[in-house]
């Protein structure tokens, strides 16, 4: 195992400024960087979509580059492309990258997009048509639909349970005037955090953005209501599809990124279901030993953000193997709760995390995005230095503790697409563990390799 002295150290220098428009600017100078990246996040996003107009925030952000009061879409492209530049928006804001020697051009373009997009009718109609075509394709796509269904089971009526880009019905209702009104109401200075990383002078970036955003309306932070989610419990849903493969999701409500158990849960995930290759337990058991599928995973940390994410286990398998796959997921979860992981597993997971940590921040765009996330989620200034140390300090006892605190195998939502009914899916779910059995079952309870021609072994079921 890596000693404390070999734990990687990463620190992203930054200068923090508050602009007159209320925006927060964070600049990380990286001399010699060939690329400068900018990320501007506007708080609110899809949470601000009115009922019946889901996808409004997504379209407002994704079509922000279709023209401004000073430049058409084509003119913006002609400015950026010769300098290797590009911009793109989403429900949460806008960002872009450019050759570092031309960073001032990117700053000016981003400032224009933030303050004066025009959403011309023809451009919006064209992009809406493309999105509707995508939604029509996804309407019949089993994996897309069951993924949406799983989120609905976990989050209920909360906005996190809705597709960010809306539905065919809601997108069809949206017009350019809706996008302009949404931008005026919600893209406000005080809601914006801007991260810049590249070969730049921080004070010069500050002076330029302060001038370009001087007339931006300040506004106020969006009101954040306490979230209301469905209680933990077994819920089932299916998307009928005449296919020979079942896309199967199992899981429940997860954590926020700022939860103090986050580092230990990352290590747990790499042992349970997200480690490289065949090293994690779920992949090794369900994919390698049982041969149920090639694609299988489980984790709780990757979706954690300012909002609570999900614990999500996924497998693509054949219909007759659904009971075995469900039993496999639950048995591995209970096993990691019942017994401490081995020293070898712990070393492997931690060494992988520590070895790959710094590589994840090589790109300027990743650093700019991190600066914004750290500001919004109020991370400590030395978070990137402390996080690898926290990974290195995780013990087998910690892994078992967080597995017991944050995984609920008896209260999972289950969604599947394929040739099966909701009743059949509920019937395939193993019974709840008794009090004496909880945490005591191991993967040895799963049959070795089910017949590919017959049904999986019969199990006691619970609905």
> Tens of pLDDT along 160-207?
999 999 999 999 999 999 999 999 999 999 999 999 999 999 999 999
- In this prediction, residue 8 carries a pLDDT of 85
Residue 438 CA to residue 331 CA, distance in Å, equals 10
Q: Cβ-count burial of 78 within 10 angstroms (0-12 exposed, 13-18 middle, 19+ buried)?
A: exposed
Structure tokens at 333: 């979860």
- In this prediction, residue 297 carries a pLDDT of 94
Residue 354 CA to residue 394 CA, distance in Å, equals 12
Kindly indicate whether the domain formed by 235-370+378-445 is annotated with CATH number 3.30.1220.10: no
Count other Cβ atoms within 10 Å, centred on residue 460: 7
Q: Which helix (H) or strand (E) segment is 226 a member of?
A: none
User: Running along the chain, 463 residues long, what does each successive block of 10 average in pLDDT?
Assistant: 65 95 98 97 96 96 96 97 97 97 98 98 94 94 96 97 95 97 98 98 98 97 91 97 94 97 98 83 93 92 96 97 97 98 95 91 96 96 94 98 98 97 96 66 40 34 33
Q: Which helix (H) or strand (E) segment is 68 a member of?
A: none
Quick one: CATH architecture of 12-212? 2-Layer Sandwich (3.30)
- In this prediction, residue 9 carries a pLDDT of 85
Quote the Cα angle for 440-442-446, to 5°: 135
- In this prediction, residue 445 carries a pLDDT of 38
> Tens digit of pLDDT for each residue in 223-249?
888 899 999 999 999 999 999 899 999
Considering only CA atoms, which of 168, 218, 175 is closest in space to residue 20? 218
- In this prediction, residue 59 carries a pLDDT of 97
- In this prediction, residue 257 carries a pLDDT of 96
Residue 351 CA to residue 67 CA, distance in Å, equals 47
Quote the Cα angle for 373-384-390, to 5°: 115
Domains 12-212 and 235-370+378-445 share a fold: yes
What does the domain layout of the chain look like in residue ranges? 12-212, 235-370+378-445
| Contact predicate 249/299, CB 8 Å | no
């Amino acid at each position: 195992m890596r000693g404390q002295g070999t734990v990687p150290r990463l620190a992203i220098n930054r200068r923090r400024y508050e602009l007159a428009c209320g925006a927060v600017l964070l600049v990380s100078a990286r001399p010699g960087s060939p690329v400068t990246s900018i990320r501007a996040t506007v708080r609110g996003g899809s949470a601000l979509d009115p009922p019946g107009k889901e996808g409004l925030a997504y379209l407002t952000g994704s079509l922000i580059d279709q023209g401004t009061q000073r430049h058409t879409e084509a003119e913006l492209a002609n400015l950026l492309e010769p300098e290797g530049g590009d911009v793109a928006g989403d429900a949460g804001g806008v960002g872009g990258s450019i050759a570092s020697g031309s960073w001032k051009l990117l700053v000016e373009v981003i400032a224009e997009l933030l303050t004066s997009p025009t959403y011309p009718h023809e451009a919006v109609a064209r992009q809406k048509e493309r999105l509707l075509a995508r939604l029509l394709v996804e309407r019949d796509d089993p994996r897309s639909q069951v993924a949406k269904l799983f989120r609905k089971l976990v989050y209920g009526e909360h906005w996190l349970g809705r597709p960010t880009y809306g539905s065919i019905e809601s997108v069809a209702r949206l017009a350019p005037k809706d996008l302009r009104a949404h931008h005026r109401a919600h893209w406000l200075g005080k809601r914006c955090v801007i991260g810049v990383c590249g070969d730049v002078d921080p004070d010069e970036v500050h002076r330029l953005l302060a001038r370009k955003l001087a007339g931006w309306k300040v506004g106020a932070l969006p009101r954040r209501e306490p979230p209301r989610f469905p209680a933990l419990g077994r819920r089932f849903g299916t998307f009928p599809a005449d296919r020979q493969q079942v896309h199967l999701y199992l899981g429940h409500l997860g954590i926020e990124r700022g939860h103090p158990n986050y580092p230990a849960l990352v290590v747990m995930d790499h042992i349970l279901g997200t480690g490289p290759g065949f090293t994690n337990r779920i992949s090794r058991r369900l994919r390698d030993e049982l041969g149920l599928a090639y694609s299988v995973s489980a984790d709780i940390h990757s979706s954690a953000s300012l909002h609570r994410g999900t614990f999500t286990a996924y497998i693509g398998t054949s219909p007759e193997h659904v009971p075995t796959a469900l039993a496999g997921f639950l048995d591995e979860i209970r096993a990691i709760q019942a017994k401490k992981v081995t020293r070898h597993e712990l070393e492997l997971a931690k060494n992988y995390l520590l070895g790959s940590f710094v590589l994840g921040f090589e790109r300027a765009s990743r650093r700019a995005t991190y600066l914004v996330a750290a500001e919004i989620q109020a991370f400590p200034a030395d978070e990137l230095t402390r996080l690898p140390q926290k990974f290195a300090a995780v013990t087998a006892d910690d892994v078992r503790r967080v597995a017991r605190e944050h995984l609920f195998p008896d209260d999972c939502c289950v969604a599947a697409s394929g040739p099966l009914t909701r009743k059949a899916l509920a019937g395939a779910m193993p019974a709840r563990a008794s009090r004496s059995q909880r945490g005591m079952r191991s993967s040895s309870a799963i049959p070795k390799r089910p017949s590919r021609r017959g049904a999986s072994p019969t199990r006691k079921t619970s609905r």
